[in-house]
Chains A and B, each alone.
Chain A
Amino acid sequence: MRNGDLDFGTPAVPGEERAGRVSLTVDGHMVTVPEGTSIMRAAAEAGIPVPKLCATDSLRAFGSCRLCLVEIEGRRGLHASCTEPVTEGIAVQTQNEHIADIRRGVMELYISDHPLDCLTCSANGDCELQDMAGAVGLREVRYQDGESHLDADEDASNPYFSFDPSKCIVCSRCVRACDEVQGTFALTIDGRGFDASVKTGADDFFSSECVSCGACVQACPTATLMEKSVIDHGVPDRVVKTTCAYCGVGCSFKAELKGDQVVRMTPDKDGFANHGHSCVKGRFAWGYANHRERILEPMIRDRIDEPWRAVSWDEAIDHAARRLKAIQAEHGTDSIGGITSSRCTNEEVWVVMKMIRAAFGTNNVDTCARVCHSPTGYGLKQTFGTSAGTQNFDSVAHSDLMMVIGANPTEGHPVFASQMKRRLRQGAKLIVADPRRIDLVRSPHIEADHHLPLLPGTNVPLMNAFAHVVVTEDLVDHDFVGERCDPASFEEWVAFAAREENSPEHVALDTGVPAEDLRAAARLYATAGNAAIYYGLGVTEHSQGSTMVMAMANLAMATGNIGRPGVGVNPLRGQNNVQGACDMGSFPHELSGNRPIGDDALRAQFQSAWGVEIGEEPGFRIPNMLNAACAGEFKAMFIQGEDLAQSDPNTQHVEEALAAMECVIVQDLFLNETAKFAHVFLPGTSFLEKDGTFTNAERRINRVRPVMASKTGMEEWEVAQALANALGYPMEYASASEIMDEVASLTPTFANVSFELLDRVGSVQWPCTDDAPAGTPIMHRETFVRGKGMFVLTDYQPTEERANRKFPLLLTTGRVLTQYNVGAQTRRTDNVDWLNEDVLEIHPADAELRGVREGDWVAVTSRMGEISLRATVTERVVPGVVYTTFHHPDTGTNVVTTDLSDWATNCPEYKVTAVEVRPANHRSSWQETFDVRLTEQTDLLPHT
């Protein structure tokens, strides 16, 4: 579909800036393009569109439709302009009577096998076939009724799009998009000649390998593959560019609307993070914004067993302010606090953070990044000097090797995974370190060179063994280390790494990874050329999460894999604005830009800008707040867009803390699990209503633009601003843009950033310096931000959570493609068609031993608690390890997780819980309590 984009027909030449230039004439106009460009693209750049159907600039030239034929002076016959590269001095003719006759003849053939129902077709007005029939001047179809595909049956099995083969012109754009763009290879052309048709290799789309990314739908030039929303609502008539609010990839989208109705979300070709691609969540799962369960009016109540009262904004703000003041009066300034959300915009986070520090007058502010990537911030700051990933996503196109550790990109970061897979198909090597056989280990045209199925909790010895091999086999990049790194720390690290306890042979017992595999993988990493590390929460969510981040950073420095395209240490951030929420200074010990609150000069700068005193002592982290609440010392909490009661570990403890507080203020879209313990509910806005910015995993600041008016009548930052004002601290932002101006003025990493800049250049990767005004794709190029790269010793301290006789299995948790985090959004979309419950993955050997069969209900018990869920028996997990997701609140996965956490940052150890699994025939007692509370709390909602 075109949605107004100019389609050049074939992709730009890779590395175009380095290619030679070729000049030619097209219909007499001189045009100069990079060598290797197609004639079609050259013509398009000269402003001369050549008719086409099978060509689109997101896919390699294919040459099947034969509409784009042109003449080249001095050469015989006609040439397909999509597959014919330019050569110096050629004279191309795109139009004459002969060419027109042939194109009309081709179009006559197309239309002889296509329904003549344009007026009632869902693509009417947005159909390339229709356009081309017009462009070539087709006036009649002379062929009599013959063989056709007009009776082919529609496949409506996918909840979001329909496949109507009667309208298919067999251009293969869908097949090629699935192959080249998404890399799933779910589609094929089946049959030969006239029987050639698009097939999935299964009964229908839904039961096939299709991951519903929608690349095929986007690529389809007709109504064959069409969004059901367009079928229902018609072709959109206006476009707003914005940014997806799901994972940390930060895909740019065009929201296509009819009035205020979103008709479809189309990934933006100009998006630097996604280049026109998307996943099932971003493209299709936006319906939650209009879900009937969304709460649009503020609500208050005095006790959590009382009914909610819907009130005006003024009353809600006033009520909240009075309660907070009263609590502070009685229990002290620091008896309250709050947390910011990684799902909200930088501007919303900033205002909540500022409200807590300035209006609450306390440093008791934390962010939900605490429970995901806080070790990343700590570890990369210690070693490199910046709490952020080192590369842009596009860097992966230059990688010779990728090492993926504790991340499952095809599920968690699917759009970046597609980019990784493209590079892997070009021959880059791959190491996967993960307890599970994730899809990257082996999927169509992808096979990991090494899968290291380590036991949960043994990342650090694994990485230390990599270091051991690099050091003892002299695979160190001495030039890099000598020039760029701190020599003393390096020497210590070498001595540490060389210790026998770090040898692959020694760690094999702990990690479960055979020494030979580990040695081979380490050699590959060190010698492959450009080696890049990509990691996720499988690294951070451990008691040694920070240690592991530093161990990876050490390894990258020792092998010289920092500071150029194709290398680096790259966190894959779980939520859309984890990077931003951290940058905004939401951690209790840091002001914006990850700067210590104890720095007097820094504090003075903020105090002068804000006109208030800021305490020098760090405030509470989330776990401290919860513990203090249980102890009766922490009484009130402002919770912006995070569902502590579902997402934080040891649910019983979280519930106890929430229940103990006197005033819990929740700002959210839905009555989430935490809100069931709340006293004030402030309805939030969906990303479709927000105005602001998100910062993705590659430090890219993307604009989020309001697609529709706020359904609550207030922007979220306005709500926090109103509360601050009601508390007596004046805030007077007139727009989100003004908030960013303040962020930029107080934060070196955000210097020079403004909405004006972002609207002008699209997006930037901080920092925007004088040398790099448009941002910094790759960090630490010449020197490390901290000066010399610092090696840190990474002694292995096993987690206290060990498998034992009572709890012999290790549970690790994660997520799946179609669901997102606690599922608040995705559970309220048709994505539930793919997964509507959390299930436990268990290895056949462990299942056999316990009499568990596929689909059985099982109880999972840890020393913290018990839940029941269904089991699936699979070799994706190794013996001794079980796995589940935490998308569904009624599962209560975090009932069993522990409150162990990272030694440096308190990031919870979600990834390791010792459990036992046994067949079950009822829900657990926590789950039964949950069921009761669900009914009670739903009944307490105002009846409208």
Chain B
Amino acid sequence: MSVAKVPRETLAVALGADELAAGLARAGHEVVRTGSYGLCWAEPMIEIDGIAYGPVTDLADLESIRLGPVEAIPELARQERRVFDRCGRVDPFDYDPAWLRSQLDCDPLEIIDEIEASGLRGRGGAGFPAHIKWRTVHDTPADEKYVVVNADEGDSGTFADRLIMEGDPFRLIEGMLLAGRAVGAGKGIVYLRSEYPLAAEIFARAMEAARDMGLLETFDIELFVGAGAYICGEETSLLESLEGKRGEIRAKPPVPAVAGLFGKPTLVHNVITLCAVSDILDRGGRDYAALGVGASTGTMTFQLAGNVKKGALIELPFGVSLRALIEDWGGGTRSGRPLGAVQVGGPLGAYLKEEQLDTPMTYEALATIGAGVGHGGIVVFDDTVDLVRQAHYAFAFCAHESCGKCTPCRIGAVRGRETVEELMASAQGDDELAIIRDLCDVMEQASLCQMGGMTPIPVRSALGLK
């Protein structure tokens, strides 16, 4: 009997994967529900006896959309899949815990040393060296410590957290358990955005499977579903929310690694950061560090979206150019029109122009052009983009998602939105631009967190302000 792999992943399911799975079963295939490889353009992408087809609309007509052997699909073959190596290939619940068990006996400080050697930095956006957090939590004495996973993936055009939680939840469980072992935590909590019900279901089931395997005896895991606030993707706001409070930013210091959840030392990481841990410990930190450029080590899970032909998750070492991602993997704009702008790193990321596309995707290189990697989201616009409207959107987004604690963000975002509206209506615009320039300085310099602090990035880049 032939084996048919059909992704059970939000996008594929939305495009009819469940019906395809039923159809394949009726046709006598042994159907395995997997995750997605992240080739969004090919979804629903199915695999029958190792041969991929996609996007599938009609099971009767597969040949016209034959992609060939999975490992030979160029968009996959050219990736460096460290985090996502199992995702798409495997049944998310078919897990052999032997390797994990062997790792859980490691000395905590040796684990932290490997993380340090790997050069791993936080994939949520800030790019903070992971080992410093790990060591701080490890070294801070407390009767209780936590590992908190930030799965409140709210950046526009991003979906890496969801893909891995739907397609390889054990990768995250491994990362959490190893991190818990290293820092001395007894409990891990995944803070998942409410918009990911399928991820919640799959992760919860994996969690139960892990419990049945006896993996959660000294370190328990809890899944916590958020309530739909972007700001709760900010780590301190997330912790407030976990404590049952209003999702409001905490002033730092103290950092969560010293006083986090319920005031206890807490390791807060994005999903993808923790999902890199298995590979680092498996192959060694130095192997991981050999990938990438300079202090941007390892792989990054870029997510290509917006006006692009082939939206996809692409895991590659740092250093690839934006142009290569958009043209070689993405196939250019979906509309076919010339590229207008690219927003990198989520709604608080910079709008980059055509002439900036050769910048290598590293933390350092992007910083030199006022941009950042963020969570790896890349949103493409063609030349019809109205960048003044995008500046307006940046303020409007901030106004909508601001927690309302600090003044620059609470009032500034609204005043910014209003002033851009005046700019749009104004013939000359110099006065408005002067106000916006000053406001951007205030928000950047004075905001309590990066919500208000980074809103000037898309505004300035969209309006060409320095």
Contact = CB atoms under 8 A, between A and B. Distances in A.
Interface in A136-186: 142-144, 146-147, 169-170, 172
Given A66-B447, A170-B404, A142 B442 contact: no
A509 B49 CA distance: 77
B369 interface: no
Of B229, B253, B410, B413, the most chain A CB neighbours within 10 A belong to B410
Contacts of B415: 109, 112, 143, 146
A859 B418 CA distance: 66
Interface in A720-772: none
A320 B131 CA distance: 87
B448 interface: yes
A143 B419 contact: yes
A66 B446 contact: yes
A855 interface: no
A contacts with B: majority SS: loop
Contacts of B445: 69, 77-78, 102
Contacts of A113: 411
B1 to A, nearest CB: 54
Nearest to A192: B404
Given A109-B442, A189-B246, A62 B404 contact: no
Interface string B424-466: 0000000100010011011001111000000000000000000
Interface residues of B, number: 37
Contacts of A84: 253
A28 interface: no
Secondary structure at the B interface, as helix, strand, loop or mixed, is helix
Nearest to B439: A105
Interface in B192-232: 229, 231
A63 B446 contact: no
Interface stretch (B333-341, B374-382, B395-403): B395-403
A547 B212 CA distance: 59
Given A66-B446, A77-B445, A193-B400, A106 B410 contact: no
B414 A146 contact: yes
Contacts of B405: 64, 172, 196
B448 A105 contact: no
B249 to A, nearest CB: 8
Which of B231, B251, B253 gathers most chain A CB within 10 Å? Answer: B251
A188 B246 contact: yes
Contacts of B439: 105
B412 interface: yes
B411 A78 contact: no
Contact of A195 (B231, B404, B409, B418): B404
Contacts of B231: 192
Nearest to A194: B414
A576 interface: no
Contacts of B400: 193
Contacts of A195: 404
A66 B408 contact: yes
Given A105-B446, A109-B415, A189-B246, A194 B252 contact: no
B411 A194 contact: yes
Interface in A207-231: none
Max chain B Cβ within 10 angstroms of own Cβ: one of A65, A102, A172, A192:
A192
A143 B442 contact: no
Contacts, number: 108
Nearest to B418: A146
Contacts of B446: 66, 69, 78, 102, 105-106
A84 B255 CA distance: 11
B402 A193 contact: yes
Given A101-B441, A106-B408, A63 B419 contact: no
Nearest to A69: B446
B422 interface: yes
Given A109-B407, A191-B404, A194-B402, A62 B251 contact: yes
Contacts of B441: 101-102, 105
Interface string A92-133: 000000000110011001101100000000000000000000
B248 interface: yes
Interface in B16-36: none
B404 A143 contact: no
Given A143-B419, A147-B418, A192-B229, A83 B438 contact: no
B286 to A, nearest CB: 31
Given A66-B448, A105-B439, A143-B419, A83 B253 contact: yes
A64 B412 CA distance: 13
A189 B411 CA distance: 15
A847 interface: no
A400 to B, nearest CB: 15
Contacts of B229: 192
Interface in B143-175: none
Nearest to A107: B407
The interface size bin for chain A is 35 or more
A91 interface: no
Interface in A45-88: 61-66, 69, 77-78, 80, 82-85
Contact of B406 (A64, A102, A189): A64
Contacts of A82: 251
Interface in A405-455: none
Contacts of A142: 431, 435
Given A105-B442, A110-B407, A64 B418 contact: no
Nearest to B250: A63
Contacts of B408: 66, 105-106, 109
A194 B406 CA distance: 10
Contact of A147 (B402, B414, B438): B414
A109 B419 CA distance: 13
Contacts of B411: 109-110, 112-113, 194
Contact of B407 (A65, A83, A85, A192): A65
Contacts of B399: 193-194
Contact of B252 (A83, A110, A112): A83
Interface string B338-363: 00000000000000000000000000
B413 A193 contact: yes
A64 B439 CA distance: 17
B250 to A, nearest CB: 8
A194 B404 contact: yes
A192 B404 CA distance: 5
A102 B251 CA distance: 19
Given A143-B418, A193-B401, A170 B442 contact: no
A347 B401 CA distance: 63
A142 B430 CA distance: 13
Contacts of B252: 83
Most central of B402, B405, B412 by chain A CB within 10 Å: B405
Nearest to A109: B411
Contacts of A110: 407, 411
B427 to A, nearest CB: 16
Given A78-B445, A109-B412, A112-B415, A63 B404 contact: no
Contacts of B246: 188-189
Interface in B244-272: 246, 248, 251-253
Contacts of A62: 251
A84 B419 CA distance: 33
A112 B401 CA distance: 20
A94 to B, nearest CB: 15
B416 to A, nearest CB: 10
Given A147-B414, A194-B413, 19 more contacts: A62-B251, A69-B446, A78-B446, A106-B407, A142-B431, A143-B415, A146-B415, A169-B407, A189-B246, A189-B404, A191-B404, A192-B229, A192-B401, A193-B400, A193-B401, A194-B410, A194-B414, A195-B404, A196-B403
Query: Which 3 residue pairs of A and B lie closest in terms of their CB atoms, listed nearest first?
Result: A196-B404, A63-B251, A105-B442
18 contacts: A66-B446, A78-B445, A83-B251, A83-B253, A105-B408, A106-B407, A113-B411, A142-B431, A143-B415, A143-B418, A143-B435, A144-B419, A146-B414, A192-B231, A193-B401, A193-B409, A194-B402, A194-B404
